[in-house]
Structure 1
């Protein structure tokens, strides 16, 4: 790909895309070396404990809170601290391991909670924990079997790809993996005409149809490639690759897609370790943002551990992201700031400040830290 002259063509217009470039740093850059494993775990505990202590009400089972619990269960697997398992179990029991919207829902957001339910099942197997989860995914397979356009926005890749992959392996049933790929392929190559994946931009993703070439641009006339949207894509690929056998159909494509994304992110990382809310325009609402950065650290750390990218080149990327997050976004008491709240584009929930937080952002941070802890001793 020639970064000096990227050309996008829409139905009604064509425009030249800019070189993707991170802004110059205005402070000493964060270290390119990871701290010791014990230090990473200490920060994870501080952030997880702050959230739990401030939320005696564990919340609903929608996509945002479910992302938090995915991260919390990752911390449980790392630390074996029973408090994290107890808090997650109580949340799932409160919702009777059910599916928001009922088992006939096709909306990917409603399937996100299945990830935490599966985590709990793997630790304490009871068939009832997966009854609704399996029912809703089988409805996706058998009801309107040719309907593969449900994942019309990139966030869906994180919400629903992992449940299909995990059930395929758990039940040794290829029907789950096959449906996963058909839904994924539609999002990637068909949705909106060209699909939401932009191979000419190094494999970044548009959030949805509105941002495809010929659609919404930044105030500077550049592409809108939302950071967290790409973060959702990265995390979805990581979670699928963690559970699917290397020889399974389509795994090479999932691996290559994640590798391309991680590779493209490296040159647009900010000097402070973060990534901007718009990866396609460094001047579009610039500033630190935690959720996208956490997911990118998670994706990069996994890619290093899996041998998809060279550690010598990419460990400093992941380390700068983690060290920047800890230095800038983590408050002394563990409160996690600079999280862009619910939205679908860079302008959503602005301004993003030291005091901006959200459950899914905390979950993303916990996922990043647990993956990075596996890279150090």
Structure 2
């Protein structure tokens, strides 16, 4: 039996504690999980149980539930895992459809049940055996499909959130280092390929190397870099301290942190187009949630320090609470995409709720 949820809706979100805000966001999103009417467009990706959209929410829910020791929320995470049959998405070779494995792994670690990862191991073993070495250049498909030829590997920035933590956690469950080593090698490849040496930010994929906004500025997508920043935090904490690739992950995380605090808006949000703040003036919460989580995690774990990081984290937390309705719905969320787009106050998405839960989990001791 799943124990009852103890959290009511919020009365004053801007004054809510991390516990109150997180519980309200979790409650609202769980209730809305089967009803996509709050979306402007009912993307199939949003309702797909094993896909990256729901996985991003459950990654946040899992972390918040574990930090809280909330048996109701932990039970919902376990139920989600078994409802999925412990399987990856329909494209198990694709990094986005590997994101769910991180949730299965955390449940397996808590339950002491490594057998939960057998299906994931089978797919990951196959990927390792294939040993794809194709270019990371993103070439648009000509057959009408949505996949580029490079996506047999991780050739887009979002993949750093979706895949490497899942592979590293699979090593934690199984004791097999091959999964972590594969993830570390491929993550190095994507960082070296997509990171801009001048700004320290990452392009979403190779199609954006020469792209410019209407103001003639480079296109650096807020949520895309949020996926990277939050993904690196999750990956680093799942790696042994002596892993040879860990220093690169830490260095990249710290480089991003130092850059991010210089471009945060005064209202606490980050520009949707990071280096062109006047392109889109509305708030955007999915990037901000992941940046806030990364800063809070970095401060809590000693990877960054200094007043500029503390102040940036706190401004982001205030901004995220201001964007959360009394019901627990997180608004001002850019919808599914790959580059900067506009937002509205009443638009939400599961990954923004997941980002808010990640952030709240790191703010529990800072109320």
Which residue matches 2:308? Answer: 313
Which residue matches 1:90? Answer: 79
Structure 1 residues 257-272: aligned runs within 5 Å: 257-272=252-267
Which residue matches 1:139? Answer: 126
Structure 1 residues 275-314: aligned runs within 5 Å: 275-314=270-309
TM-score between the two structures when normalised by the length of structure 1: 0.82
- Residues 210 and 181 of structure 1: CA distance in aligned 2, closer, same or farther (over 3 Å): same
Give the drift of 1:126: 2.7
Give the drift of 1:182: 2.3
Q: Secondary structure at the residue paired with 1:68?
A: helix
- Residues 125 and 172 of structure 1: CA distance in aligned 2, closer, same or farther (over 3 Å): closer
Which residue matches 2:235? Answer: 240
Which residue matches 1:188? Answer: 191
Matched, 1:42 2:20: yes
Q: Distance in 2 between matches of 1:319 and 1:325?
A: 10
Q: Distance in 2 between matches of 1:244 and 1:152?
A: 21
Structure 1 residues 1-377: aligned runs within 5 Å: 39-55=17-33, 60-101=49-90, 105-144=92-131, 146=133, 149=136, 150-189=153-192, 195-201=193-199, 203-212=200-209, 215-327=210-322, 329-347=323-341, 351-374=342-365, 376=366
TM-score between the two structures when normalised by the length of structure 2: 0.84
- Residues 170 and 129 of structure 1: CA distance in aligned 2, closer, same or farther (over 3 Å): closer
Give the drift of 1:36: 12
**Does the CA-based 8 Å contact 2:114-2:174 persist in structure 1?**
no
Extract unaligned runs of 5+ from structure 1.
Answer: 1-34, 190-194
**Does the CA-based 8 Å contact 2:52-2:99 persist in structure 1?**
yes
Q: Distance in 2 between matches of 1:60 and 1:316?
A: 37
Which residue matches 1:22? Answer: none
Q: How many residues align?
A: 328
Which residue matches 1:13? Answer: none
Q: Secondary structure at the residue paired with 2:198?
A: helix
Give the drift of 1:56: 5.0
- Residues 223 and 331 of structure 1: CA distance in aligned 2, closer, same or farther (over 3 Å): same
Which residue matches 2:9? Answer: none
- Residues 148 and 305 of structure 1: CA distance in aligned 2, closer, same or farther (over 3 Å): farther
Q: Secondary structure at the residue paired with 1:199?
A: coil
Find runs of 4+ consecutive structure 1 residues off by over 4 angstroms: 35-38, 56-59, 145-149
**Does the CA-based 8 Å contact 2:102-2:167 persist in structure 1?**
no
Give the drift of 1:168: 2.8
